[in-house]
Amino acid sequence: MFLEIIEKISDEIIKNEEYLTELDREIGDGDHGVNLARGFSEIKNQLVNFKNLPVSDVFTKMGMILLTKVGGASGAIYGTAFMSAGTYLKGKTEFDNQILLGALNSMIEGIQRRGKAVLGEKTMLDTIIPTYNFLEKSFNDGKSLKEIKNEVIEVAKNSMEATKDIIATKGRASYLGERSVGHIDPGAMSSYLMIKTVCENI
């Protein structure tokens, strides 16, 4: 099941290659879609080798692929995120809500470490952190991921769309200053696509 979801995430990124590149052309280097599609195509090719591996190793290997095969900032940042989750999940075999939160939190920390970004700077964190906060609150209220998956998609979508209104202060987009307003951040969009795909396939 876990590998099926990774395959679906890969397909979703590959399918949206043009759109993500288009978003990045507006405010960045214009390579976000191309780079991520290259990385996830390679991940898809490698899935057959991941079959008997623990989840932690799969995350680590995905991170390594993104770090080595993908140019630009997105490969380094997503690669670090997946590797951070892999490190956190080492030796864990039970996957409950708290482990899921821990894995997501370690991804956020990896992104912050690598990208030196915080919430509100028009980056992928502007999709991921509000989603994390919503999950944490819902889990603390005793809800299961199945029950709230549609709401999670909604929160991620609204957070991603809200990056339109943020002035970029990180990465290539920051050179545009106020002209970056009115554009969705490509990293926020690719994060949304991943979150949406996971929720749709639970």
Quote the CA–CA distance of 97 and 108 in Å, as a whole number. 17
Residue 199 and residue 152 in contact, taking contact as beta carbons nearer than 8 Å: yes
- Is residue 94's pLDDT more than 90? no
Tens-digit pLDDT profile for residues 131-168: 999 999 999 999 999 999 999 999 999 999 999 999 99
d(CA 153, CA 43): 24
pLDDT at 48: 97
With cut-offs at 50, 70 and 90, classify the pLDDT of residue 93.
Answer: confident
Architecture in CATH for domain 1-200:
Alpha Horseshoe (1.25)
Cβ–Cβ < 8 Å for 148, 124 = no
**Which of the pair, 171 or 8, is modelled with greater confidence?**
8
* Residue ranges covered by each domain of the chain: 1-200
pLDDT reported for residue 171? 84
Q: Using pLDDT thresholds of 50, 70 and 90, give the confidence band for residue 95.
A: confident
- What mean pLDDT, rounded, does the chain reach? 96
Q: What is the mean pLDDT of residues 13-29?
A: 96
Calculate mean pLDDT across residues 16-43: 96
**Three-state secondary-structure class, residue 64:** helix
129, pLDDT greater than 90: yes
In this predicted structure, what is the pLDDT of residue 36? 96
Contact indicator for 72, 52 with CB cutoff of 8 Å: no
Burial 67-85 (b: 16+ CB within 10 A, else e): bebbebbbbebbbbbbbbb
- The gap between the terminal CA atoms of the chain, to the nearest Å, is 9
* DSSP letter assigned to residue 166: S
Are 152 and 195 within 8 A, CB to CB? yes
Which two three-digit tokens encode residue 187? 């990293």
